[in-house]
């Protein structure tokens, strides 16, 4: 293996060992909220529909709506790994000093850590898909290998975007004492504008048109739809997502350089 | 090895009065002022030396260390370590240095030290054979073979410091920066760390820069030392020179079995300091007269105990910390 791959792989391994120490913590922080969120939406939409499956809202029957939210949750598992709060803490408490000395960068370290968690979450997502396939009525869950493959691919791209956005917010800690407020702000905006609560078909049309140019729909709505078997033209999806990912990575790079010149390694 | 000229570092700090409203206000308006942490610092440390960096808290020692390792960027001045400019943080440079911080762990807290070592092996691209040999050698020297598979958080401070040291030496660094490596350790643990460093240095000839508040560390390890007070250099030279910085007299303590009439006799010319009941005296005797004066006192007075300064460096340091102006500007 190439040395740089070994570095990444070993970092991922250490992250896994660390996750094993905090299994319960991991479950409660990442998987727990996803499940809770899913069940809240389940009961919310069930009562909105009044339990009737012939009612259509925004083109969705109740079972289609529930199936949509199931896929949103699965997409979330693939995309949204740990947030940037521990990253900010590393900066504020001067813990990044070690990573300024090791011949492995802070960015690489956090990317590898993110990837490590993502791998575990993808396994959980696969288990969820398989168990849904066997446990639920086939109506709830479309199971087409092609759309699953494309859906996973788009979700992985979106996963990188989500990492980059969180990384950027995390390193704002060079200036701000508390970055979690921004992070929560981004999360709430994402939940709403990504279609994770209400599918985008129910949004005003002009708003949706604008939203398509932002990264939000690609976090939930688009991958969930693809996983369900509705494949949109892929070029704009990949194009817009890649643009935002690269754009944010570039800004992170500039912010990092500027931040480092201010860094005082407090508490080191 | 380490070479700097006119090195400066200013920190911008802002004051925030306590309270939430003030926090809100500080988002929009901050009153900054500059603090000069390091002031036109020249340093030259040749290869293979162990040099002590001394100074009171907040003098700028750690700031210097941070600049030497490339963690923070100097405000002005030139700095070369091993021929590299540290703030560029090239990987080739980073592979040749190590930093050990006594009050901060660099290991993974929740995993055994060996897991961290494996990670570092990859980061520093150490071959498996080299790595194994290195781990065996160092764990043997430090006597830590039995604790490498225990979670770091369960180790005692002394044990943790040893594995901490070990982790930063795996890649055979050419320059090692030790920031208070013995802080908080008991006497035996301190001695163990010192002995290890002496042995390690003898074996590898690496260059070591060490800060410590324990003069015993400096006395045992360093051949030369640099004193920094308020960000500027006040002394740079051998330990011997440092000991004689405030005069070359020897400090001798005498205890007597009964109070002494101290009006006349040898006392006054040697700057005598008496205790309250005149049973103990501290004299500053010029080195040449040492034998003669001591003999005289021993034979003429009821001396029950006497001793000379065990660590003159500690006394000099203490005097300088109390009266920094005695050190004078560095020539």
SS3 B105: coil
Residue B269 binned pLDDT confidence (cut-offs 50, 70, 90) = confident
Q: Is B173 on the interface with A (CB under 8 A)?
A: no
pLDDT at A50: 87
Lowest pLDDT segment from A19-23, A59-63, A219-223, B139-143 = A19-23
B148 has a pLDDT exceeding 80: yes
- CA B187/CA B182 separation, integer angstroms: 9
Among A10, A101, A103, whose Cβ lies nearest the Cβ of B71?
A101
Q: Is the pLDDT of residue B202 over 90?
A: yes
Q: CA angle at residue B240 from B237 to B245, to 5 degrees?
A: 75
Taking residues B15-31, what's their average pLDDT? 76
Mark yes or no for CB contact A264/B106 under 8 Å.
Answer: no
Give the per-residue pLDDT at B330: 66
Q: pLDDT higher for B246 or A188?
A: A188
Mean pLDDT of A135-140: 62
Task: Look at A264 and B108 and tell me if their CB atoms are within 8 Å.
Answer: no
Domains of chain B: 2-243 (3.40.50.300), 249-316 (3.30.70)
Mutation target among B116, B123, B175 for the A interface, most CBs of A within 10 A = B123
Q: What is the pLDDT, as a whole number, of residue B296?
A: 86
User: Who contacts B83 (Cβ-Cβ below 8 Å, separation ≥6)?
Assistant: none
Question: Among residues 205-264 of chain B, which lie with CB inside 8 Å of chain A?
Answer: none
CB-defined contacts A:B, below 8 A: 75
- Averaged confidence pLDDT in chain B: 88
In chain A, the residue whose alpha carbon lies closest to the alpha carbon of B97 is A101
Sort A180 into a burial class: Cβ within 10 Å, 0-12 / 13-18 / 19+.
middle
Q: Which of A230, A198, A247 is nearest to A217 (CA)?
A: A198
Pairwise CB contact (< 8 Å): B118 & A10:
yes
Q: Is B311 exposed, middle or buried (0-12, 13-18, 19+ CB in 10 A)?
A: middle
CA distance B113 to B149: 6
Query: Quick one: pLDDT at residue A140?
Result: 56
Confidence (pLDDT) at A211:
95
Q: How far is CA A267 from CA A89, B12, B86, in A?
A: 12, 16, 20
Say which of B104, B108, B124 has its CB closest to residue A268.
B104
For residue A212, give Cα distances in angstroms to A72, A165, A225, B5.
17, 17, 14, 56
Interface of B with A in 68-97 (CB under 8 A): 69-73, 89, 91, 94-95, 97
Residue B53: per-residue pLDDT:
93
Q: How far apart are CA B321 and CA A128, in angstroms?
A: 66
> What number of other Cβ atoms are within 10 A of residue A207's Cβ?
11
Residue-level pLDDT at A83: 64
In sequence order, what are the residues at sequence separation of 6 or more whose Cβ sits closer than 8 angstroms to the Cβ of residue A52?
A62
pLDDT tier at A25 (50, 70, 90 boundaries)? confident
Q: For residue B176, name the pLDDT band (cuts at 50, 70, 90).
A: very high
Contact (CB<8Å) B108/A265: no
Instruction: Please give the model's pTM, rounded to 2 decimal places.
Output: 0.85
Q: Would the CB atoms of A265 and B72 count as touching at under 8 Å?
A: yes
Q: Rounded mean pLDDT of A63-77?
A: 90
Element (H, E) at B234: strand B232-238
Taking an 8 Å cut-off on Cβ atoms, the answer to whether A265 and B124 are in contact is no
Residue A138 is predicted with a pLDDT of 56
- Give the pLDDT confidence score for residue A141 in this predicted structure: 61
Q: How many CB atoms lie within 10 A of CB A40?
A: 12
Mean pLDDT to the nearest integer, A123-149: 80
CB–CB of A14 and B116 under 8 A? yes
* B130 contacts chain A (CB < 8 A): no
Residue of B nearest to A1 (CA): B122
Share of chain B above pLDDT 90, in %: 43
Residue A23 binned pLDDT confidence (cut-offs 50, 70, 90): confident
pLDDT for B147 equals 94
Cross-chain residue pair B95–A94, CB shorter than 8 Å: no
Higher pLDDT, A93 or B276: B276
The pLDDT value recorded for residue A123 is 93
Q: What was the pLDDT predicted at B196? A: 93
Q: Is B121 on the interface with A (CB under 8 A)?
A: yes
Given this model, what pLDDT does residue A142 score?
65
Higher-confidence residue: B329 or A122? A122
* Both structure tokens of A34: 């996803």
Lowest mean pLDDT among A147-151, A257-261, B82-86, B102-106: B102-106
Among A10, A98, A265, beta carbon nearest to B66: A265
Q: Copy the structure tokens of residue B153.
A: 């958080």
What gap in Å lies between CA B278 and CA B258, rounded to an integer? 8
From chain B, the residues in CB contact with A94 under 8 A are: 104
pLDDT, residue A208, reads 94
Specify the pLDDT at position B208.
95
Q: Tell me the C-alpha distance between A145 and A251, whole Å.
A: 36
- Verify whether the Cβ–Cβ distance B94 to A10 is below 8 Å: no
Pick from A7, A14, A260: which is nearest to B115 by CB?
A: A14
pLDDT at A267: 57
Could you give the CA distance from residue A97 to residue A263 in angstroms, rounded to a whole number?
Answer: 10
Q: Say whether A22 and B110 touch across the interface (CB within 8 A).
A: yes
Q: Which residue has the higher pLDDT, A96 or A236?
A: A236
The whole-number average pLDDT for the span B231-247 is 86
| Predicted confidence (pLDDT) at residue B139 exceeds the cutoff of 90 | yes
Strands B175-179 and B76-81: unpaired
Q: What pLDDT, in 10s, does the model give residues B51-89?
A: 999 988 888 898 999 999 999 999 999 999 999 999 999
Residue B27 or A151, more confident: A151
Query: What proportion of chain A, given as a percentage, has pLDDT over 90?
Result: 47
**Quick one: pLDDT at residue A1?**
76
pLDDT in the model for residue B250? 82
């Amino acid at each position: 293996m190439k040395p740089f791959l070994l570095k990444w792989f070993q970092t991922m391994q250490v992250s896994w060992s660390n996750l094993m120490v905090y299994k319960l913590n991991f479950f409660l922080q990442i998987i727990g909220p996803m499940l809770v969120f899913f069940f809240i939406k389940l009961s919310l939409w069930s009562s909105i529909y009044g339990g009737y499956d012939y009612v259509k809202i925004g083109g969705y029957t109740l079972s289609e709506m529930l199936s949509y939210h199931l896929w949103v949750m699965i997409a979330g598992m693939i995309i949204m790994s740990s947030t940037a709060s521990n990253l900010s803490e590393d900066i504020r408490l001067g813990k990044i000093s070690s990573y300024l000395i090791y011949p492995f960068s802070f960015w690489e370290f956090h990317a590898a850590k993110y990837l490590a968690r993502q791998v575990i979450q993808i396994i959980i997502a696969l288990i969820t898909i398989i168990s849904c396939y066997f446990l639920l009525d086939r109506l709830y869950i479309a199971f087409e290998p092609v759309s699953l493959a494309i859906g996973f691919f788009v979700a992985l791209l979106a996963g990188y975007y989500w990492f980059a956005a969180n990384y950027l917010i995390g390193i704002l800690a060079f200036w701000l004492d508390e970055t979690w407020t921004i992070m929560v702000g981004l999360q709430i905006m994402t939940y709403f504008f990504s279609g994770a609560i209400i599918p985008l078909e129910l949004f005003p049309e002009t708003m949706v048109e604008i939203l398509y140019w932002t990264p939000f729909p690609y976090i939930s709505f688009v991958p969930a739809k693809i996983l369900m078997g509705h494949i949109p033209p892929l070029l704009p999806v990949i194009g817009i997502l890649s643009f935002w990912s690269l754009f944010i990575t570039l800004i992170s790079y500039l912010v990092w350089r500027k931040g480092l010149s201010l860094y005082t390694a407090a508490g080191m | 090895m380490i070479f700097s000229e006119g090195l400066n570092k200013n920190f911008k700090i802002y004051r925030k009065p306590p309270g939430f409203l003030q926090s809100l206000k500080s988002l929009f308006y901050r009153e900054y002022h500059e603090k000069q942490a390091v002031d036109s610092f020249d340093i030259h440390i040749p290869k293979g030396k162990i040099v002590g960096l001394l100074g009171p808290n907040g003098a700028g020692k750690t700031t210097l260390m941070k600049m030497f390792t490339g963690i923070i960027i100097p405000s002005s001045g030139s700095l070369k370590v091993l021929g590299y400019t540290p703030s560029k943080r090239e990987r080739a440079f980073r592979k040749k240095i190590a930093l050990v911080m006594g009050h901060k762990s660099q290991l993974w807290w929740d995993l055994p030290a060996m897991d961290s070592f494996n990670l570092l092996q990859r980061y520093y691209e150490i071959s498996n054979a080299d790595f194994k040999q290195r781990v065996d050698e160092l764990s043997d020297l430090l006597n830590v073979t039995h604790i490498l598979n225990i979670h770091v958080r369960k180790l005692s401070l002394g044990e943790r410091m040893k594995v901490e040291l070990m982790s930063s030496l795996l890649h055979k660094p050419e320059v090692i920066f030790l920031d208070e490596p013995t802080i908080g350790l008991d006497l035996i643990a301190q001695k163990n760390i010192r002995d290890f460093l002496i042995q390690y240095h003898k074996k590898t000839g690496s260059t070591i820069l060490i800060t410590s508040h324990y003069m015993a560390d400096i006395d045992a390890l360093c051949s030369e030392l640099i004193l920094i007070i308020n960000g500027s250099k006040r002394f740079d030279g051998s330990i011997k020179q440092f000991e004689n910085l405030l005069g070359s007299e020897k400090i001798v303590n005498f205890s007597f079995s009964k109070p002494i009439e101290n009006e006349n006799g040898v006392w006054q010319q040697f700057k005598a300091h008496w205790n309250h009941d005149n049973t103990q005296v501290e004299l500053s005797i010029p080195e040449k007269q040492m034998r003669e004066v001591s003999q005289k006192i021993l034979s003429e007075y009821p001396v029950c105990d006497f001793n000379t300064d065990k660590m003159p460096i500690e006394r000099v340091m203490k005097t300088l910390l109390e009266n920094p102006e005695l050190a004078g500007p560095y020539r």
